[in-house]
Amino acid sequence: MGFDDILTAIALGTRLTKAVVSLKRHVDDLRSSAAPKTLQPSPIEALDRRTSELESLARRQAARISDLETGLEDAAVVTTALAERVSTIFWIAVLSGTVALISLILSIFTIAYRG
């Protein structure tokens, strides 16, 4: 594990950030949509048109929800991959620090007993 792995982890973090920003845009679009306002000549026609508008709105919302689910699944995959990379880098750093500390202690003992 080396410099390439660190760059890969950074790239995964960038992809995660882009996925979250895309997901935020989808959520904002979902929140900002409003029902169309129309005036109807008769109550029956108004009810029929409103029912049609609600069905159309329901289909659009279902499509948006499907897109959001896909975005969330993608974000979860990216987050999991990033977490695995960061965990690997953490354990490499811990192991490196431990080896360096052991080397330092051995060096101090060697210098102390020779001198």
Q: Is residue 14 part of a domain?
A: yes
Evaluate whether residue 30 is within a structural domain. yes
State phi, psi for 82 to the nearest 5 degrees.
-65, -40
Q: Residue 100 falls within a domain, yes or no?
A: no
Radius of gyration of the chain (CA): 29
Per-residue pLDDT reduced to its tens digit, 44-53: 877 788 888 8
In the chain, count H helices and then E strands. Answer: 2, 0
Mean of pLDDT over the chain:
82
Residue 91, pLDDT score: 93
For the cut 80, the answer to whether the pLDDT of residue 77 exceeds it is yes
Count how many residues are written for the chain. Answer: 115
| Residue 86: partners with Cβ closer than 8 Å, 6 or more residues away | 9
81 in a structural domain: yes
Q: Of the ranges 56-60, 91-95, 100-104, 106-110, which one carries the lowest mean pLDDT score?
A: 56-60
CA 68 – CA 60 distance, rounded (Å)? 12
Nearest 10 degrees: CA dihedral of 79, 84, 85, 87?
120
Q: pTM here? A: 0.45
Tell me how many domains the chain contains: 1
pLDDT of 40 > 60? The answer is no
Q: Is residue 112 part of a domain?
A: no
Q: Which of 13-17, 47-51, 72-76, 106-110 has the lowest mean pLDDT?
A: 13-17
**9-13 mean pLDDT:** 74
Would the CA dihedral through 37, 38, 44, 50 be positive or negative? negative
Task: Tell me how far apart the alpha carbons of residues 67 and 28 are, in angstroms, rounded to a whole number.
Answer: 13
- The pLDDT, as a whole number, for residue 34 is 53
Query: Which has more pLDDT, 35 or 33?
Result: 33
User: Does residue 108 belong to any structural domain of this protein?
Assistant: no
Answer whether residue 94 is part of any domain. no
Instruction: Print the domain residue range for 19.
Output: 3-86
Assigned token pair, 67: 């897109």
Note whether residue 99 is domain-resident.
no
